[in-house]
Structure 1
Amino acid sequence: MVSELINANPIVYEKKERRARSMPTAVEEYAVEAIDQQEVFDILSLQLFWITFTPTVEHCSMATIIGLCLRVKLSRSLPSRYKVDIRVAPGSHASESAVNKQLNDKERVAAALENPNLVDMVDECLAPSYN
């Protein structure tokens, strides 16, 4: 049995260099929209951190996995005193409320992180790429 290439003449593109982007903190995001300094002080005392992301398509089946990866990365990076809120952008997913509920329910997140297959997938997504 002879194995044949699916695409004998593939187009090989040069890998683009990734730009390092710093993520603004919740305080920085909120401070831009804050009406007065008292609101900024209230947010500082609460130690909130929220992320809104946009899935690739309206019916993206990976939206919960992407959100779980974001949650795990933030929980590994931030001190435990921070409250993290992960949401899909309004109107960007067909099951927006269900995805948001799943991503912000402690019990559901804990159950997902007990699944070894999901943990492996999350770890693979968060592994640094040096190529």
Structure 2
Amino acid sequence: MPSDIENINPEVVASLSEREHSLAEDDDSVVDPIDQREHPLTLEEIKVAQFEHIRVDDKRNSVEVLFTPTIPHCSMATLIGLCIRVRLLRSLPDRFKVDVRIRPGTHASEAAGKCKYSWSVNKQLNDKERVAAALENDNLLVAVNRCLTPQR
């Protein structure tokens, strides 16, 4: 029986809420769970979003998140990045500039020397007009909101 899931057996790690981490106490909004609908797990639990790849510079009003697609050929990379960006935009004060990108070397098109796809995803995720246009699409907005609403 074929499955729609690209990564049937992801490596699962404890979520930040299950670990002690002193830095997380300073800003919980950056690490709120985002569900990955292929699995009943959060992006953090399947190592897509990891605390050590989040940089918050309060003095410069910036947040940078590097995420790792679930597999090198992940077709959901843009949606995952958009969900991360929307979570941050909804959680952080307006003064923050948010930068969400695929971690270098984690997507097949980049590893093959064809970084056009990864670059394109990164460009889309960090272009205010493209993000606004994407969120005007009712079907896409429903998908994003589903990812941002815990189902547990």
TM-score, structure 2 length as denominator? 0.59
Task: Look up the match of 1:26.
Answer: 55
Offset, 1:92: 1.2
**Identical columns (%):** 53
Q: Flag structure 2 segments of 5+ consecutive residues without an equivalent.
A: 2-11, 19-23, 25-30, 32-50, 110-116
Measured in 2, the distance between the counterparts of 1:59 and 1:98 equals 15
Instruction: Give the alignment partner of residue 59 of structure 1, picking from 67, 73, 80.
Output: 73
Q: How does 1:6-25 map to 2 (within 5 A)?
A: 19=15, 20=17, 22=24, 23=31
Task: Look up the match of 2:146.
Answer: 124
Task: Look up the match of 2:123.
Answer: 101
Task: Look up the match of 1:39.
Answer: none
Which has the larger share of strand? 2
Task: Look up the match of 1:49.
Answer: 63
Measured in 2, the distance between the counterparts of 1:119 and 1:126 equals 10
TM-score, structure 1 length as denominator? 0.68
Measured in 2, the distance between the counterparts of 1:128 and 1:57 equals 23
Q: Match of 1:45, SS? A: coil
Structure with max Cα Rg: 1
Q: Match of 2:136, SS? A: coil
How many residues align? The count is 100
Offset, 1:66: 0.1
- 1:48-92, Cα deviation, whole Å (9 max, x unpaired): 101000001222110000000000000111011101000000011
After the TM superposition, which segments of 4 or more aligned residues of structure 1 sit over 3 Å from their partners? 21-25
Task: Look up the match of 2:90.
Answer: 76
Worse overlay, 95-104 or 110-119: 95-104
Q: Flag structure 1 segments of 5+ consecutive residues without an equivalent.
A: 1-5, 7-15, 28-42
